[in-house]
Amino acid sequence: MVRIAVYRTNSKGCSIIYDYLGSKFDDVRWIERKDVVQEYIFGFDVIVFPGGWRHLYDATVSSRFFYAVHRYMMRGGNYLGICGGAFLAWLLDLARCEMKYLRLLPYYMYY
């Protein structure tokens, strides 16, 4: 079973992404800043950062947030960034991290 965490943001599409993933996978959960800094994310196979500014703000004001996501990826975690979440991946320099599950989310989403 694949465990997926979706970072709750101010994005209009955040709930749409959560609902869509919940219809395809059995274990999809919301996470927030405290879950990242307390490294609760290490229990998930993939973390999803949808659009919005919340995670970008959290990453720039909290080194614990920044390094927790980076450590998660360096230990083989998987990341899906959409819009602002893709920009966050660039901020964290995640392109240097090895991906474990290619094609984990092989679905197209339109909204």
Domain of residue 59: give its range: 3-96
Residue type, 78: N
Residue at 82 is within a domain? yes
pLDDT at residue 109 in the model: 44
Do residues 85 and 50 lie in contact, with contact meaning Cβ atoms separated by under 8 Å?
yes
Residue at 83 is within a domain? yes
What CATH number is given to the structural domain containing 9? Answer: 3.40.50.880
Digit-by-digit pLDDT tens for the chain (111 residues) are: 899 999 988 778 889 999 999 999 999 999 998 999 999 999 999 999 887 776 677 776 778 888 898 889 888 888 888 888 878 887 777 766 665 554 444 444 443
State the pTM of this model: 0.81
Strand-pair partners of 29: 5
Count of domains forming the chain: 1
Residue at 104 is within a domain? no
Residue at 92 is within a domain? yes
DSSP secondary structure letter of residue 4: E
Residue at 106 is within a domain? no
Q: What number of other Cβ atoms are within 10 A of residue 98's Cβ?
A: 8
**Is 107 buried (19+), middle (13-18) or exposed (0-12) by CB count in 10 A?**
exposed
pLDDT at residue 55 in the model: 65
